[in-house]
Amino acid sequence: MTPVVGGSPFQGAPVARTCGDEGGKRANGKPCGRKAGWGTDRSSGRCKDHPEPSPFDHIRHPKKRAYLAALSETGHKGRASELAGIDRTTPYTRQWLEDTEFQECVARAETMAADLMEEEARRRAIDGVDEPVGWYRGRAGGTVRRYSDTLLIFLLKGARPDKYRERFEHSGPGGAPLAVHVYLPENGRDAGNGDG
């Protein structure tokens, strides 16, 4: 785990030491040792030559691996196909559809993409987004933090559906259907007669 500045994992930014501290290895098996900030991802502490292991590394087919990685980032099958350099119909071919291990990974990639989208929605709803304001001669004079109430509503509906749902089902005693009694005042017509 990457050490964190301060006492809580929620305080400060991660402190990256060297790539070797995080498990990056050279071809000869020795730690990489590349310093943080010199071609090193500051959040993970790993250099560009030793990225984080992918959950799809066990997939041997390189195009399938590339497709899964792109799908986990974009959440869009068409865009993932483009990024992987394959035709949009390839993931729907019989060979790819009958590969159960690959299909399990597709489900995992879609879940990962949904998690990313939910994280972004939470950021926009709770943390807000700085928008430039006060334009003069093509330059912004400042920024205003905007929050998305709509995204917050969706997050609440997902987190607490019993409390924030829009649709309620009514039922009678013991979950039975409601009995509806309709009173029709006397108007001189016969209810059984279709002459009405």
Residue (of 4, 84, 87) closest to 43 by Cα position: 4
Report the DSSP beta bridge partners of residue 35: 18
* pTM, to two decimals: 0.58
The CA distance from 106 to 77, in Å, is: 10
User: Quick check: 70 and 84 in contact, CB under 8 A?
Assistant: yes
pLDDT attached to residue 53: 74
Whether 109 and 117 have beta carbons less than 8 Å apart is answered as no
What 8-state DSSP symbol labels residue 127? I
Of 129, 182, 169, nearest to 151 by C-alpha is: 129
Q: What are phi and psi of 139, to 5 degrees?
A: -125, 140
> Are 73 and 38 within 8 A, CB to CB?
no
Alpha-carbon distance of 121 to 17, in angstroms, equals: 31
- pLDDT tens digits for the chain (196 residues)? 333 333 333 333 333 344 554 454 555 556 665 654 444 444 445 566 666 678 888 899 999 999 999 999 999 999 999 999 999 999 999 999 999 999 999 999 999 999 999 999 999 999 999 999 988 988 988 999 999 999 999 988 888 888 887 776 677 777 788 877 777 777 655 555 555 4
Domain ranges of the chain: 1-53, 54-126, 130-165
